[in-house]
Amino acid sequence: MSFLLALTAASVAVYIIIYYTLCRGSRCTSQARLQGKTAIVTGSNTGIGKATALDLAKRGARVILACRSRERAEAAVRDIRRESGNNQVLFMPLDLSSLQSVRDFVETFLKTEPRLDFLINNAGVMGGGRTKEGFGMEFGVNHLGHFLLTVLLLERLKQSAPSRVVTVSSVLYDKGHIDFKLLEATKDLAEGERNAKKDFQVYAHSKLCNVLFTRELANRLEGTNVSCFCLHPGLVQTEMGRYLGLFRRLLLLLCAKLFFLDPEGGAQTTLHCALQEGLEPLSGRYFSGCAVAQVSAKGRDDAVAKKLWEVSERLTGV
């Protein structure tokens, strides 16, 4: 019995050390107040997006929850208004798996909102399926939908400058690559039947797209006073894997409960990139733990970044 107690105590101690040294994460220290500012946060009815929207609302911003599910988004609006005391929190429908929905969202936004200070490209999916236009779901939502959304909102961002575009990527970008021939042939970043390994691989491909998109966007925004950043939020308890099979969801849930950040912790680097003063010279860079981080060679390939931009323009028709 004493051995079991000692083993249990040692296991708890190891867990506490791992959690507080590796899993707890850094915090955004900005004290910025955002009265008169407007932010769009995609995928903000739950998880990191909702935590990001709540923090921005607490600072006084007008926050647009850009989400697919009206029911879930309107519930999030009520929660955020109640917790922040800010009634300038609104829902606008946006389905990133439909390029037409992206265009409809932008048309509504530009007609009703005079400024845009922060565009937070937060939404993300993992799992198979196809978008409305037939693209692979991860590529279509995680990259292509956000690409179109950003491009269509650039003029409003420039008019509201200084402004920022923040895109949530992942450390998994370093496991990704972009096969343009395969993309042309299949409208996806992988081919064949899906399994757990392939789901993670395709997700990594899409996260590399986020890093390269941010790099090329920064090049194109030079001199405009609009800056852009991408980031790894940490390992976070979210609903991103809700389309995975039951066994994989349960396994992911167990790991998340033990070691992952909660959504508030996962939102900290997003908030740092959006709010921290003096980051403009770092436009186009990748952040982790509320600090700029080194990117591998594949994330710094300007030729691939430019080609991805040009292919994305053609695929979206902009």
What is the fold, at CATH topology level, of the domain defined by 35-316? Rossmann fold (3.40.50)
pLDDT, residue 3, reads 53
Distance of CA 58 to the CA centre of its chain: 20
Find all residues with CB under 8 Å of 275, minimum gap 6, and list them: 28, 30, 32, 59
Cβ–Cβ under 8 Å, residues 153 and 226:
no
pLDDT per residue as tens, the chain (318 positions): 565 554 444 443 344 344 444 445 699 999 999 999 999 999 999 999 999 999 999 999 999 999 999 999 999 999 999 999 999 999 999 999 999 999 999 999 999 999 999 999 999 999 889 999 999 999 999 999 999 999 999 999 999 999 999 999 999 999 999 999 999 999 999 888 878 888 899 999 999 999 999 999 999 999 999 999 999 998 755 554 554 556 655 655 555 555 567 889 999 999 999 999 999 999 999 999 999 999 999 999 999 999 999 999 999 999
Radius of gyration of the chain (CA): 19
H or E stretch at 185? helix 180-186
Please tell me the distance from the alpha carbon of residue 132 to that of residue 247, in angstroms, as a whole number: 28
Q: Token pair of 248, please? A: 């994989």
Nearest 5 degrees, angle CA 19-CA 21-CA 26? 100
Q: Is 173 noted as a catalytic residue in this protein? A: no
Catalytic residue among 20, 173, 203, 286: 203
In tens, the pLDDT along 191-211 reads: 888 788 888 999 999 999 999
